[in-house]
Structure 1
Amino acid sequence: MYVCICNAVCDKRVSQAIDAGHDEPDAVYAACGVTPQCGKCAETIEEMIWTKKTGVTMAAE
């Protein structure tokens, strides 16, 4: 699944960056070799970071 359409970054790549210790969206972007474009994916990346840290999925609003 694509997390970032603008940069064609998939969830696997984001997960690998988080597993490598990148725990802020900007650090994840950098680890993936991209920069944020529209920024809409930042919330999804934050949710993925939260889930990895806590083991709890954030509830949809």
Structure 2
Amino acid sequence: MYVCLCLGVTNEAVAEAVAAGARTTRHVAQACGAGSECGRCRRTVRSIIDAMHHTPRTARPRRESRA
């Protein structure tokens, strides 16, 4: 399946980059290009990284609005 349509990068290519040591979306972009153009695929890339390392990201804390 294509993850990055801009560069035609597949989930297999992203998984290979992660297996080779990429731990962030920036590392993956440097390794295979996914996420280096428009950035729409970065969430999917992050999901692949998390799945391969079994470390799901926690939700960001909500910012309190200042009144």
Which bin holds the TM-score, normalised by the shorter protein? 0.7 to 0.9
Larger helix percent: 1
Q: Point out the structure with max Rg over C-alpha.
A: 2
- Percentage identity across paired residues of the two chains: 33
Match of 1:23 in 2: 23
Match of 2:37 in 1: 37
**Structure 2: where are the runs of 5+ without partners?**
57-67
TM-score in terms of structure 2 length: 0.75
Report the RMSD for the aligned CA atoms in angstroms: 1.7
Instruction: Give a deviation string over 1:16-50, Cα, whole Å, max 9, x none.
Output: 00001101011101111x36111010000000000
Alignment of 1:38-53 (within 5 A): 38-53=38-53
Q: Following superposition, which runs of at least 4 residues in structure 1 exceed 3 angstroms of deviation?
A: none
Q: CA deviation at 1:9?
A: 0.3
SS across alignment from 2:45: helix
Aligned residues: 55
